[in-house]
Amino acid sequence: MGKRVIPPSGDGDDDGTGPGGEVLPVNLREALEERYLAYALSTIMSRSLPDVRDGLKPVHRRLVYAMHQLRLDPAAGFKKCARVVGDVIGKYHPHGDVAVYDALVRLAQDFAARYPLVEGQGNFGNIDGDNPAAMRYTEARLTDVAVLILEGLDEDAVDFRPNYDGSEEEPAVLPGAFPNLLANGSSGIAVGMATSIPPHNAHEVCQAALKLIDAPETTVEELVEIVPGPDFPTGGIIVETKSSILESYRTGRGGFRVRARWAVEDLGRGTWHVVVTEIPYQVAKSRLIEKLADLINDKKVPLLEDVRDESTQDVRIVLVPKSRNVDPALMMESLFKLTELESRISLNMNVLSKGTVPGVLVLKDVIVQWLDHQKDVLVRRSQHRLEQIERRLEILGGLLVAYLNLDEVIHIIRTEDEPKPVLMERFSITDVQAQAILDMRLKNLRKLEEFEIRKEFDELSKEAEQIRALLGSDAKQWKVVSMAIRRVAAKYGPETPLGRRRSTFADAPEHDQAEIMEAMIEREPITVVVSDKGWVRTLKGHGNDLARLEFKQGDKLRIAFKAETTDKLLVFSTGGRIFTLEASKLPGGRGHGEPIRLQCDMDQDQDVLDVFVHVPGRRLLLISKQGKGFVVAESEVVAQTRKGKQVLNVATGDEARLCVEVPEGATQDRKSTRLNSSHIPLSRMPSSA
């Protein structure tokens, strides 16, 4: 039995002309909808989304198949990539050579593909983001992983279909004995949908598949215990919470935060520097270092003094701190916020089921559909083998008849003009058997040959019975599939260089956000200037001559105080609301500054009453025009949004009048009243304010 071929479908493309070439009227809206839908379906099914069964897009499948046709197996020699790309374009994939070569290069890059399908020879690019050499200079051949994906292709394991011009045949899907979709991941953008699947550890995926074979009712929660998360070729540390990872695999959508792996290297005498040995997936090292250098030049990372790239074969980025007293963890936290040392890898398991139906699958469904494909491949390969055995047994049966009646067979051949029909009638054999007898050579008439044929006949008969038993038992089929998966799991086990897990898991360290933000700001002395009309600006240093300041016409100096760029400023309005400003974000001293209203959401009927530096642990006395007031802890009035916090509620006709640090007592001359601060009511701000 030969390859099963999917017949080509009619194009059905209506170009708006009749049979004789005359122009026909076409509804423009219907024509656009029909053509755009055809384009969208073509993009989804033939370009951007991978097949859940073999984890490949059409261009990757055609590349691997073309290399298989060129016999570029791991034991064979390399061939020029230009030859491979030419075959792919000419026979299967009529697109640009640059796009095809880029796809080939990605399959060979060990920092892009977790389990490369192509072994490259020459310059295939690097983790810095450098481009590969031209395809006329590079060479390639398949890897053992690709051989597993192709295993059984010549045994009628999958359907074949005509290529784009009908001159060749190509596989609709590959057998895929390797769990390629999850192991290598995939990404692509189609029309109205996209896919993004990060790489995983093949051994863990195989173990999850074996678990589903033994217990089909296994839940996603149980599978996540086996497949805890992605395993990136560039390593890194996944700092996503377990609950978030579980939700991503349960829904098929989500993401993973990945951080660079770093360690403190002691240089002696109290000095040290940080060495980064792994960077997040799909981050170009050169671009990362360039960004770090820009941040240092712009003084946006005051804790970092220098960055050096000491990488050779392995990544080694050296980060030099400003001083030995810098907290390494705090410095790295600030860099994680500002650079791609921390990256978010999205998960969107949008794939083609059975090669035709796009949809988002959860982790369990992806593995189940791959297992179902493996079972289908096993059944088809078994049926193919059984048909081969039956054909061979038919021939062997005819040869055994000849050995049992050797003299008569020779007599018929020597005396009859047409011996085949005579042999068929005399010994009741088929046309195939009679032809086999006629094609037999004289040297095969020896006695030893008869024994070998009888032995082969018995062995094939036994194998045929085993295959029939296999095809008739669902349990035996799953047992064989399990054995094949166990072999893959062993080949890429955790003790092997390619199979060991590279990405690890950790919880992100807990740091006060204020400390992190402070670490990202250069600490410098400034003078904050507020005008009578509420305009604010900052002057560098503390020794400024305020008398020489210029203001807008009709405006003048109202408040001026010393601060630092890392300080928080509190703005108290006449409406009793307190706003929080970052000193580092205020406009500089050139010009007249900006209105404070642009820095926060202050109502038009309110005015700025006071501005001061926030001092944690201090208590404030707030008093309204009508004499109402209370004491509040300053740490409770710090606002996190532009809307501020309503601290002092004022009635109609009343307004806030005073905000001062709580004194030990309060006195007035003549008619004096002495109050102890403990007598003033203490207000506690609600946490949701």
Active site residues per annotation: 137
Q: Do you know the residue count of the chain?
A: 689
CA 680 to chain centre: 59
A 10 A CB-CB count for 297 gives: 8
Q: Structure tokens of 313?
A: 């074969």
d(CA 273, CA 264): 6
Alpha helices in 472-605 (DSSP H): 474-491, 513-519
d(CA 101, CA 63): 9
Interstrand relation of 194-197 and 186-189 (parallel, antiparallel or unpaired)? antiparallel
First to last CA, the chain: 77
Place of tokens 């939700």: 247
CA 92 to chain centre: 28
The answer to whether 659 and 609 are in contact (CB under 8 A) is: yes
The rounded radius of gyration (Å) of the Cα atoms in the chain is 39
Contacts of 582 (CB under 8 A, 6+ apart): 517, 568, 569
CA atoms in the 13 A half-sphere facing the CB of 510 = 0
Q: What does the DSSP 8-state code read for residue 404?
A: H
CA 401 to chain centre: 64
For residue 34, give the H/E element and its range: helix 28-43
Apex CA 407: angle with CA 404 and CA 413, to 5°?
Answer: 110
- The closest of 263, 387, 281 to 329, measured between CA atoms, is 263
Interstrand relation of 504-505 and 237-238 (parallel, antiparallel or unpaired)? parallel
Three-state SS annotation for 246-303: HHHHHHCEEEEEEECEEEEEEEECCEEEEEEEECCCCCCHHHHHHHHHHHHHCCCCCC
- The closest of 327, 279, 280 to 304, measured between CA atoms, is 327
d(CA 175, CA 166): 23
